[in-house]
Amino acid sequence: MVNSKQRGFVIPLGLFLLLGLSITAFAVASTGFFQEKMAGITKAMTDDFFDAETAVKQQENTFAALTDLTGVTLLDSECGIGEIVENAGGVTIRTTYINPPPNGVNWGSGDGSKVLICHMFKNELIISVNAVGDDGSKHSGHTGDYLGQCINGSLAVPDDAWVTCEQKFGTDAKRLSWQQLWDI
């Protein structure tokens, strides 16, 4: 015999619990979906990074193997510093790389057989490395002569006027700087 005062308590409680479980399951599924999506993006970015770095390394090796820099666009034409930029997907890597001159002084003629000097503060000359002199004789001893390009006709001698590329950067081809840019 059923008591007439009984009400259907089990059905509303079951529906309430089912609603709570549904909300929890949806939240867990959404979190898992977003975590999987973020992991996929991270993997793609990492793959792009490695592809760009590999391409940069190949370009650096090609640049380092050059024995004549005539006609090559450089950031510093005297010491042989070039910029290398490679893109892969959303990653850009930019480096500066030095290919040191074979004469140790500067690239001058492009093939390193002669060097560039500023003569008498106004004329740029390409001369034999033997005509530079390292003991104060020859051009290294002339007032108004210094290694490299003339600075806008200035009568001032740069602080590193007789510092060679070898003294500045050493004798090995190497990466001088590295910058990574993300296109997110």
Instruction: Name the amino acid, one letter, at 120.
Output: M
**125 versus 156: which is more confidently predicted?**
125
Residues 159 and 176 reside in one and the same domain: no
Residues 41 and 125 reside in one and the same domain: no
Residue 142, in any domain of the structure: yes
Residues 97 and 20 reside in one and the same domain: yes
Alpha-carbon gap, residue 120 to 123, rounded angstroms:
7
Residues 86 and 146 reside in one and the same domain: no
Tokens of 90: 């959303």
Residue 6, in any domain of the structure: no
Residues 70 and 21 reside in one and the same domain: yes
Residue 17, in any domain of the structure: yes
Residues 15 and 76 reside in one and the same domain: yes
Residues 27 and 56 reside in one and the same domain: yes
**What's the rounded mean pLDDT across residues 109-137?**
85
As a 3-state breakdown, the chain gives helix, strand, coil percent values, each rounded to 5, of 35, 20, 40
Q: What local confidence, expressed as pLDDT, does residue 172 receive?
A: 95
Residues 60 and 145 reside in one and the same domain: no
Range of the domain at 38: 11-101+170-182
Residue 45, in any domain of the structure: yes
pLDDT surpassing 60 at residue 2? no
Residue 109, in any domain of the structure: no
Residues 177 and 141 reside in one and the same domain: no
Total tally of structural domains belonging to the chain: 2
pLDDT surpassing 70 at residue 3? no
Q: What local confidence, expressed as pLDDT, does residue 40 receive?
A: 85
Sign of CA dihedral 5, 9, 12, 15: negative
Residue 81, in any domain of the structure: yes
**What's the rounded mean pLDDT across residues 156-176?**
87
Most confident of 67-76, 113-122, 140-149, 159-168: 67-76
pLDDT surpassing 70 at residue 154? no
pLDDT surpassing 80 at residue 130? yes
Residue 135, in any domain of the structure: yes
Poorest-confidence range of 6-15, 51-60, 100-109? 6-15
Q: What local confidence, expressed as pLDDT, does residue 6 receive?
A: 62
Structure confidence by residue, pLDDT tens digits, 5-20: 666 777 878 888 888 8
Q: What local confidence, expressed as pLDDT, does residue 92 receive?
A: 93
Q: What local confidence, expressed as pLDDT, does residue 175 receive?
A: 95
Residue 4, in any domain of the structure: no
